[in-house]
Amino acid sequence: MRVFWLTLTLLIMIVANPLAADPYRLPDFGSSADTVLSLADQRSLARAFMKSVRKALPVIEDPVLDDYIQSLGRDLAQQSGAVAGYRFFLINQPSVNAFAGPSGQIGVFAGLVLAAETESELAAVVAHEIAHVSQKHLMRSFESQKRMAVPATALLIAAALLGAQVDSQAGMAAMAGVQAIAIQNQINFTRDNEQEADRIGIDILAEAGFNPFAMPGFFESLGRSSRYYDNSAPEFLRTHPVTTSRIADALARAEQYGLRQRPDSLEFHLARANLRQRSYTGAQRAVEHFESTLASGRYRNALAERYGYALALLRAGRFELAREQAASLLKARPSQVEFIVLDASIDIEGGQPGRAIRNLKSAYGLRGDNWPIAQTYAEALLKTGQVKAALSMLEAFHRRRPSVTQIFGLLADAAGRSGAKAKTYGYRAEELYYQGDLEPAIRQLERAVRISGVDYHLASKLQARLDEMRVEESSENKKWSRGDD
């Protein structure tokens, strides 16, 4: 499988004028790169990019895993001076990889999480990607490529990822489709950007309380491990090797902060166990893996290993044994979100949704802003036909946390099953919009506003949202159809 250096280099290094080579000079924050695209244009590019990513790669939608990587990313992004606009997500592939896309879209592959021995190592790569965003490396590339239409630019970026992670011929074909072969030939490893991302990333890492030596240490350990690979070696080690000078520079930067020992969070171990059981195609193989590690004691965290075992048992349909494991985990940590959701999921899939609702109602009452609990609670209510209760709960949660865009699919489902057609179209429109499908989203809202008998407040809200999307679509069509700035 291809790994993160190739992909992140392709994604962020379409650069004509790299930064100066002074290893400790910060970039000019007043660069004209800031004015190349408006914030609205950057959001358009991000949506087009994510639409292509979702079509090409298996983005993980699990709310527990999503909540973990978002939380880790937010903690790190705060140290860069901004959190708004960043979106962190996991991809269910074994590549040791991560990338920074337009407008702070940061993808982390499951293989990277599993390869990280400590949470600081995982945080080091995420911090590196945040540094690429905060230093506007991608936006600087538009200083030379701004005449390319945004949909084509998004396709070029996604094609680089397609070529590295899915099918190289498909990726090159996509590039040819946007007449980008010449640009692709100019994409080279840009040492200055990578070294700057290392330096700024180490600053972010240390200021967030993680071990700053984790970045050079992790890169060095990946380099050492390459000696045991043949043709399946991670490609970034063949095409963009982590040099001794680069590691030395990173070590020098880390030494300015000194060693900081930070224990790994339980959530980190639980995420790794979850991804580990997902890495097995067959549920029974996952069960056998955890049975073996638990029997031999080959694990780093007992609770996490039993959690992975319970998830594997749930996948295999062995509900009673999975429930026993969940009960043991809840006894040890009764307020742990992962264990609450696990126990409820076993009940929902194992034919006891009523028990799940009772337990989740209590948990939601205590943690009404927690998305994994809210989603599982809504799913249990829908499972038992309590669609109006599910819709009411989801709408209350959305008012509390409007930034959780994953909610719109469930809202549309609940509204549809409760007979609220206008709301159904409205929520489906929002789901499509955040998936990057602006035109289908507009069609959904057009259906919504044509429905008669809708109360004035909802009708006005739907019409206003339709007007917003139409303006956005018109602006994009005018700007990008010209193919200029």
Does residue 288 lie within any of the structural domains? Answer: no
Q: Among 66, 198, 249, 413, which one carries the catalytic annotation? A: 198
pLDDT digits (tens, 9 = 90+) for 211-231: 999 999 998 887 776 555 544
Does residue 308 lie within any of the structural domains? Answer: no
For the segment 263-278, the average pLDDT, to the nearest whole number, is 98
Q: How many domains does the chain have?
A: 2
Query: Distance between CA atoms of 106 and 100, rounded to whole angstroms?
Result: 5
Residue 65 clears pLDDT 70, i.e. is over it: yes
Instruction: Look up 198 and say whether it is catalytic.
Output: yes
* Confidence (pLDDT) at 475: 79
Please identify, among 199, 220, 255, the residue that sits at the C-terminal boundary of a domain: 255
pLDDT digits (tens, 9 = 90+) for 458-469: 999 999 999 999
* Confidence (pLDDT) at 17: 33
* Confidence (pLDDT) at 474: 86
pLDDT digits (tens, 9 = 90+) for 164-189: 444 444 444 544 444 444 444 333 33
Contacts by residues 325-328 (CB-CB < 8 Å, ≥ 24 positions apart): none
Are the C-beta atoms of 432 and 444 separated by less than 8 Å?
yes
Are the C-beta atoms of 349 and 384 separated by less than 8 Å?
no
Q: What is the DSSP string of 54-105?
A: HHHS-B---HHHHHHHHHHHHHHHGGGT--TT-EEEEE-S----EEE-GGGE
Burial of 294 (0-12, 13-18, 19+ CB in 10 A): middle
* Confidence (pLDDT) at 81: 76
pLDDT digits (tens, 9 = 90+) for 75-86: 999 987 766 679
Hey, what amino acid is at 470? Answer: R
Residue 477 clears pLDDT 60, i.e. is over it: yes
Does residue 442 lie within any of the structural domains? Answer: yes
Q: What is the DSSP string of 239-250?
A: HS---HHHHHHH
pLDDT digits (tens, 9 = 90+) for 348-375: 999 999 999 999 999 999 999 999 999 9
* Helix or strand holding residue 107 (H, E): strand 105-109
User: Which residues participate in the annotated binding site?
Assistant: 128, 132, 194
Please identify, among 255, 282, 317, the residue that sits at the C-terminal boundary of a domain: 255
Does residue 380 lie within any of the structural domains? Answer: no
Please identify, among 255, 280, 315, the residue that sits at the C-terminal boundary of a domain: 255
pLDDT digits (tens, 9 = 90+) for 406-453: 999 999 999 999 999 999 999 999 999 998 899 999 999 999 999 999
- Indicate the average pLDDT of the chain: 82
Lowest mean pLDDT among 48-57, 150-159, 160-169, 241-250: 160-169
pLDDT digits (tens, 9 = 90+) for 93-126: 998 888 888 888 999 999 999 999 999 999 999 9
Query: Distance between CA atoms of 315 and 282, rounded to whole angstroms?
Result: 9
* Confidence (pLDDT) at 210: 97
Does residue 202 lie within any of the structural domains? Answer: yes
- Of 155-169, 275-289, 471-485, give the range with the top mean pLDDT: 275-289
* Confidence (pLDDT) at 155: 58
Does residue 32 lie within any of the structural domains? Answer: yes
Does residue 201 lie within any of the structural domains? Answer: yes
* Confidence (pLDDT) at 60: 96
pLDDT class for 24, splitting at 50, 70, 90? very low
pLDDT class for 482, splitting at 50, 70, 90? low
**350 versus 23: which is more confidently predicted?**
350
* Confidence (pLDDT) at 133: 86
For the segment 316-329, the average pLDDT, to the nearest whole number, is 98
Instruction: Look up 129 and say whether it is catalytic.
Output: yes
Are the C-beta atoms of 187 and 9 separated by less than 8 Å?
yes
Residue 162 clears pLDDT 80, i.e. is over it: no
* Confidence (pLDDT) at 344: 98
Q: Among 129, 343, 413, 476, which one carries the catalytic annotation? A: 129
Q: Locate tokens 């695209």: which residue? A: 37
Query: Distance between CA atoms of 274 and 279, rounded to whole angstroms?
Result: 9
Does residue 9 lie within any of the structural domains? Answer: yes
User: Which residues participate in the annotated binding site for Zn(2+)?
Assistant: 128, 132, 194
Residue 331 clears pLDDT 70, i.e. is over it: yes
Torsion angle of the four alpha carbons 470, 473, 476, 477, in this order, in degrees rounded to the nearest 10: -100
Range of the domain at 456: 420-485
Are the C-beta atoms of 178 and 155 separated by less than 8 Å?
yes
pLDDT class for 32, splitting at 50, 70, 90? very low
Q: What angle do CA 121, 76, 74 make, to 5 degrees?
A: 120
